[in-house]
Each structure stands twice: as C-alpha cells, then as structure tokens.
Structure 1
Amino acid sequence: MLPKRPLHAVVLCLCFAGAGASALAQTAPSAPPIAPAAAPGVEQGPAQTPGAPPSPDHSSAPVNTPPAPTMAPAPSASSSAPTPSQPAAAPIAGPVHNIVLVHGAFVDGSSWNGVVAKLQHKGYHVSSVQNPLTSLADDVAATRRVLAREDGPVLLVGHSWGGVVITEVAANAPNVVGLVYVAALAPQLHESAMDVMKAGGPMPAGQSINKDANGFLWLDRARYRADLAADVPEMVTRVLAAAQVPIAAKAFDEPVDQIGWKDKPSWYVLTTQDRAVSPALQKTIAERIGAKVVPVASSHLAPVSHAGAVADAIDHAARELSRLQQ
C-alpha cells in the first residue's frame, strides 16, 4: 500500500471483487516478510464427488507445507475482552460436502460466482455469505447465520477481509472443520485487520481508497483494474467498480476475540502478483498460522481471474479433510 494515512493501509485486506451475477466470481503480523517464489496457477480437474478419495493429482492444487508457526499471540492494548470460557464443542465428523464462502469489502456474495459454479460442478453444496460490511461483528453474525443452516461438516473460506471474519467465526463453530484463506488476513488473538496490515509495506492499491463523510471506504474506479485486478478483463472490472459495496472504516480497528486457525487445519491461496496485499505479507501470515500454501500467479482478485485454480485449491482441502474425518 501507498496510503498516506493509516486508515488507507488497512483497506488492502479487502476483498476487491465482484458485483452481480454477470461478474464471475472473485476476493500478520509482525514476522519479517518473506518473498515467495512465483508459481503457476492450479489447473482445474474434472468433476468429482466431494469426500471421495482423490484421483491422481490432476484435480488437486499443488501444496507446500510451511513450518509450524512459532509466534505466540499477544493481547492488544485496544481490547481486553477474554476468549470465551466455555470449551469448544467437538467437531462434526464425516466427509466434507459443504463449502461456505465469505467475501470482503467493495463486493457482495456474487463475487464468488465463478468459484461457486466450479465447486457445484464438483458436487459440493456451496453457500456464499452476504456480508453487510458495516462492522466486523455484523459480518461475523451474517456468517454464523449461514453456518447454522449447514448440514454436516463445513469448509469455511475467506477472501482478503473475509479472512478476518472466518478467523473469528471458526473458533467456536463445531461444524467448521477447516479454513481456506485466499489472499486473506488471519489475525492473532486480539489483533485487528489494521494490526495485520501494519506488518506489510506500502502497496499501490492503498492510494485507491477514499473515505466518505459517513465513514465508509470506496475504491477509486479509475485505479481499480491496475491496482487490484490487472489480470481481469477491463469490461469486468468496470462492472465491479461500478457495483462496489463500501465498507465501514471502523471495521478495520475491531480486534478478533478468538482465532479459529489455532486448532483447525488451514490452507492459504497465495497470490504472487498481488498489488493490494503483498505476497511477502501473505507468506508471513500463512507461516504464522501453519497453513498449507497454494501459490497462484494472480492479482488480488484471484476468485475472479483464476476461479478454477481457487476452486481446485478448495476442493483439494475438502478432500484432504474428508480423509482426516474418516
């Protein structure tokens, strides 16, 4: 980010994608950033039954396992709220056939349309949350309402800002058995999105953010494609920019009170051409939470420009979780 104000820096965690059914679906801490090696995207495989043993790796995304995180979460001075004292409920067993997708800022649930279609073709039951983007608490509540309707184990997926949401939600959700972060933020306990973004250097997309008189953040339409979606067709990015849903700036200062990645398996789709959340910061986040890394040569809007690769990474995670659940 190249924001001149701290508030702008936070926005890069947003999910810069999607708008209407016509736009095919989209979108740290203090460890020193590590520059990841660019890798090609994941190729989409043929339709398969979720939870079934995988065919030879033709449908699975390449996975690199980073070292386990060594950083202990440190409470933030901005929040003294304790983690819930009640023990977490036992996870639900069985094959994973439910996928819940959580979008970020400037979009709605339709930003996942391309990914949804590909996962449905593979046989999954997919739900896309409609976040109000008025606060972290409101987005968490919206996601929990969707999870309450799922029958069986769920793989919870978050893009960009959506990573903050799924981190909070997954902690005490017994039907969530794993997490997938797509170019997303994954805070430590009592960290906010702003805290995570401070660990990364300035990024070009930071200059694309404007705050209105009501405290909501908007993306500059003229810079949308260059900074956030260089590999998305211009016609599509014009639609995304026009239909953007603003996010309340205050949301980025709200800390998480619990962290679902601490005791649930995680995967991380790392976008190596990202100009919003740097690949180095993404790698640091993935290492800190112990996630398996799936590199994709994409802009920040990987769910739009590389819907097949993102869907394949989610499918791979779901099938691996199904084996663990048996």
Structure 2
Amino acid sequence: FTIQLIVNVAKMSLRDAPDVIKAADIELLLVDQASPAGGTIAEYLDIPFVTVCSALMFNREMSVPPFSMSWNYDPSWRGVLRNRVGYELFNIIGESLKKVINYHRKHWNLSTYNNANQYSSQLAQISQQPAEFEFPRKELPSCFHFTGPYHYPNSVSQESIPFPYEKLTGQPLIYASLGTLQNRLLWVFKMMAEACVGLDAQLVITLGWGVNPDYLPDFPGNPIVVGYAPQLELLQKATMTITHAGMNTTLHSLSNGVPMVAIPITNEQPGIAARIAWTGTGEVIPLKKLSVDKLQKAIKLVLTEDSYKKNALRLQEAIKRAGGVSRAADIVEQVVDTGKPVLASTKQ
C-alpha cells in the first residue's frame, strides 16, 4: 500500500508540479526524502533542491539495515549479507517507482537513476535525527547533516489545546500515543491501560484525530483519555512514553530526556524502534508479540532501571548540540546563496 501511494504521488507530482512551481516562481525546493520524484522535478526546472529527512533517514549503506526493518545493527559479514538481501528486496519493491521517475527523466533529457541514493540532493541533505540516534555510518555523502529535530520543548506553545491539567495527580506521568496514522488500534490502548493498573504512575492516553473518547468504554485503571493532547508540554512533565515509534513522538520524547516503551506498527517505525533499543533509551515490543504481561514488564523496567533515563538524557544533550531548525535553515540559505554543496563538518 505504501509503495503504491508513493508511486501515485510521484506520477501526480511529475505531471503537475513543474507548471505550479514555474507559476509561483519558486527558486529552491525542499524535498522530503519520502518524495523521491522531487529531485527530478528540480533538475528539470534547473533549480536547486535540498533533501529533508522528516522520518528515519533512507540512505542505503550495506552495514546498516534497510530503514523499515527491525534488525539490530550488526557490522559482521552475516549482518552485511542480511542487509544486502533486504536491500535487494527493496529494489524489487521499488522498481515501479524507479520506472516512473526514469520515464520522465528520459523525456526531459536527464540521466536516469541506477540506485535509490541518487534520489537525494547532492547540495545538502538534512535529517531530524541527531547523529547519536543513528547506527554507525561510513558512507554518507559529504553534504549530509544531522541537525536534530525542528521542535524544542519550549519552542512551541500548545496552550490552545484543551487538556484537564487539574486531573494530574503528581504521580510519575506515563504519556501514551500511537500518533495520527495508526491510532485506530483501540485494543492496543486498552492493553496500555491494563498494563499500568496497580503501578504508582498516572497514564495519559491521547487517541489522535478521528477518535472521540466520549464514545469509548472506560479503560481499566481510570487513565486520562483525550482525543488530542498538547504533546510537547505533557512530555515536559512525563516520566516515560509509550509510543508506536513514530519519529516525531520519539524525538519529542528524547528532546525532553524521556525514555520509552516502543510498539512499532508499520513503515519506518520498526527501524526507529531498533534505534531506541540500540541507544538504550527504551524497550521494544513488536505489535505481533504484544501482551499485557510483556507490556507491564517493559514499563516497570523502564521506570525502575536508571540506564534508560540516563541514555535519554544523553540523547537530549545530543539534540541540543545538533542545532535544530536554526542550523537546518542556515544550511538551506547557504545553498540558496552559493548554489554549491554545503559540506558537513567531520564533527557531527
């Protein structure tokens, strides 16, 4: 489903976007790495583009597993062989996308692509991840920048989002969210509530848009359940996050030094969860293996074992050093000013 959606968006973009961009007199494109047709459009229009990794970075490297895999980092020959097999599978799945893009590249007299890394900009690539939240990399382009997330805990006020702060008890706060795309798994929310029953902690569940808590039966343990929550502000109060390992919630948690229990569901979430485990900032339970007992055990472990909090604080400091949105904006402006690759320093 996901690859077909990307192919359909690519077809639409390649057909319609050039005329729209010309009419708007746009001088530079910021192209999400998950929109691989964007670079071809920029080349056709002869304008620069910068690749933005809003989700987990997609850059392929044989020592690193494909981005959507839950595999651990393993630089041994066995791990590299496993990764090669994974990337070959990705090549097969992505062949229809490559054909669509290369069809237009030939029509526009552009050289065709041979591999997925060519989709990204050679001027600048910026990622919301801090370098410390990525497996060791040896083959990134010199224009790749780990800038860290584009939201800091105090940078955005969400006071306009209603929330019953008066119901907070002062107990350790567990914040639970499955984001906005996989938030219809109500049985997972129920398991979260059951797993927290009897703990000296208060659970806050945010259901996300499209789910009205007024029409749901009460969850066990009387957690605070809301349709939408001021996530950035609640994470400043949280002791732990239960998450689907979406990039935004993961980085928001780490920006506040909050460890996690991750329940990855789809897309790149297994890869993000693998990095949560690798950095020691949380525990991971695959959705297919989820049970109340396993979830409660993981929650208790993250709440009581100091290493998870210490590692989350370590990542918090890394995020602060990465530069965030200011650094990302500086890189984009440098591309505009010079039209040349913006090289990363050796110290990421």
* Superposition TM-score, scaled by structure 2 size: 0.29
Which structure features the higher share of helix residues?
A: 2
When Rg is computed on C-alpha atoms for both structures, the one with the higher figure is: 2
* Superposition TM-score, scaled by structure 1 size: 0.31
